[in-house]
């Protein structure tokens, strides 16, 4: 993973990019055993940062960080940040990434999703404030809802249905942004907000309901690829290494955000399904299913701010990222079959 850390350093020295001189020796990552959180833990360790990984394993798994357990700078703690957060010793950075993040999860756990966005944000902000630490909130492109502006800039306020089925996630994140801002303006807490667009890569759960793991699993099984609606709705997919570089670029900077981190490479869900079928060599047909309620029709980040302030832009082409992801899922299936066999 060292090459990813090198890429962060290469990005932040571009002209007109302002770097902070802060030193971060020890970080807390909530939701650190989840898909994105585990990659953050890994990259931080590669940078020489000690990591305290907090997770209640509601949607994360210890298996995601099993390879880090022998690292002297890594500590895994079972913790529900909606109850209480206590971390002994100094903390220089708090990354709040705990939350169900896929529709299948937050529709099944609506109250837990709202609690981690409200109480969890309150408790982790309190930790950062008490420790004098930098705080970075993982927000989401979902704060833009079904956008009436395209592409989405950080100045856009969004078009969200607060009482729709997706509202539990959208509004939890919107509230957490407001709470993070309030801590900065009223208490002087050093905060940053990152709005993450669709991210994919190794360690996604095959059953988490998001498009890429669903399409890959279906293609590898030879089952029909289930595309919602007519497949014309778009998403902009960003490989996890690029997303993590962007998050850490913000974390190590003085900027408050919000900052969009995502790949402007927009494609339709039908195109994505057919692309994955090609990459897997699958003959699976496409099967159209009903479009979920309040499903956004378009999604593409305006990354002007990330490029100007952080010197960040995605570098992994979508085809390469999808190929790596397909290979990882295929390898996981092979291991499972060997164990069963």
Residues labelled as active-site residues? 169
Please, are residues 240 and 36 in contact by the beta-carbon 8 Å criterion?
yes
Tokens in use for 37? 């959180």
Instruction: Report residue 69 CA to chain centroid gap.
Output: 22
- CB neighbourhood size of 328 (10 A): 15
Are the beta carbons of 141 and 298 closer than 8 angstroms? no
Residue 330, helix vs strand vs coil: helix
Strands 134-140 and 93-96, by their bridges, are parallel
Integer Cα distance of 183 and 180 in angstroms = 5
209/191 Cα distance (integer angstroms): 31
DSSP β-bridge partners for residue 298: none
Q: How far apart are CA 251 and CA 29, in angstroms?
A: 12
Facing residues of 128 across strands?
A: none
User: How far is Cα 305 from Cα 80, in angstroms, rounded to an integer?
Assistant: 33
The 3-class secondary structure across 138-205, one letter per residue, is: EEEHHHHECCCCCCECCCCCCECCCCCCCHHHHHHHHHHHHHHHHHHHHHCCCEEEEEECCEECCCCC
Task: Give yes or no for a contact between 261 and 238, defined as CB atoms under 8 angstroms apart.
Answer: yes
């Amino acid at each position: 993973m060292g090459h990813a850390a090198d890429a962060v350093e290469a990005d932040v020295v571009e002209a007109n990019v302002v770097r902070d001189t802060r030193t971060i020796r020890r970080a807390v990552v909530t939701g650190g055993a989840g898909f994105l959180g585990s990659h953050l833990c890994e990259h931080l360790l590669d940078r020489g940062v000690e990591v305290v990984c907090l997770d209640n394993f509601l949607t994360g798994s210890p298996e995601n960080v099993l390879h880090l357990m022998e690292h002297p700078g890594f500590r895994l703690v079972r913790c529900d940040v909606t109850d209480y957060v206590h971390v002994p010793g100094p903390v220089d950075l708090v990354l709040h990434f705990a939350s169900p993040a896929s529709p299948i999860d937050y529709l099944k756990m609506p109250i837990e999703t709202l609690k981690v966005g409200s109480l969890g944000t309150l408790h982790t902000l309190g930790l950062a404030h008490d420790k004098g630490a930098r705080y970075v909130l993982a927000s989401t492109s979902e704060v833009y809802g079904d956008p009436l502006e395209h592409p989405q800039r950080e100045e856009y306020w969004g078009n969200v249905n607060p009482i729709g089925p997706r509202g539990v996630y959208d509004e939890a994140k919107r509230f957490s942004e407001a709470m993070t801002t309030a801590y900065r303006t009223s208490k002087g807490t050093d905060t940053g907000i990152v709005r993450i667009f669709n991210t994919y890569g190794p360690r996604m759960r095959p059953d988490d309901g998001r498009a890429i793991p669903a399409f890959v699993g279906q293609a590898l099984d030879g089952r029909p690829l289930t595309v919602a609606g007519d497949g014309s709705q778009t998403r902009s997919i960003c490989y996890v290494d690029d997303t993590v570089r962007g998050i850490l670029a913000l974390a190590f900077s003085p900027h408050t955000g919000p900052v969009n981190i995502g790949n402007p490479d927009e494609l339709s869900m039908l195109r994505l399904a057919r692309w994955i079928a090609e990459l897997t060599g699958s003959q699976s047909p496409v099967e159209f299913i009903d479009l979920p309620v309040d499903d956004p029709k378009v999604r593409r980040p305006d990354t002007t701010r990330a490029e100007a302030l952080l010197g960040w832009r995605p570098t992994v082409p979508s085809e390469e990222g999808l190929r790596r992801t397909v290979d990882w899922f295929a390898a996981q299936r092979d291991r499972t079959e060997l164990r069963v066999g």
